[in-house]
Amino acid sequence: MTYVFKTADTPVGKLKLVANGQRLAAILWEHDKPDRVRLGPMTEDPDSVVLYETERQLREYFAGTRQQFDLELEFSGTEFQKQVWNALLTIPLGETRTYSDIAWQIGRPKAVRAVGAANGRNPISIIAPCHRVVGMSGALTGFAGGLPIKRKLLSLECGTPDLF
């Protein structure tokens, strides 16, 4: 597979946007662990149409004017991971789900820890909103971008964008 990337400056830091053909394959955090999302060799392409469109939609999201993304996505992972990541796409803006909720949704109610592990490897952060998944008590739990950014994203989605 041939991946291309561009770097986008956002209110939550520099994000590496990655595409494969006309599909978005990843949004990686500035200080992401190198092995959290495994893709393959990449070349920089700031003129990629899909990456330009991703950056545009992210700008609208951070400005509070976009509530839903409209991009073709390509998830690379196991079938179980893909089930979890697709379930993330169903969480409405401004709402949260627990790992248990996601496990039930995909028909694997005993796989709560595996759901957590898959959530942690979500390659398309923000758009596949892993930040909307919280612990059973409602507490914020791990997030590749860091808990302060998770808190900011949730606050933005609940109508308090002044945090940016």
| Residues known to be catalytic | 130
Rounded Cα gap, residues 103 and 97, in angstroms: 10
Sort 76 into a burial class: Cβ within 10 Å, 0-12 / 13-18 / 19+. Answer: middle
Contacts of 137 (CB under 8 A, 6+ apart): none
Phi, psi of 23 (to 5 degrees): -120, 140
Phi, psi of 112 (to 5 degrees): -60, -45
Q: Rounded to 5, what percent of the chain is helix, strand, coil?
A: 35, 20, 45
Q: Taking a C-beta distance cutoff of 8 angstroms, is the pair 74, 47 a contact?
A: no
Joined tokens for residue 31: 């200080």
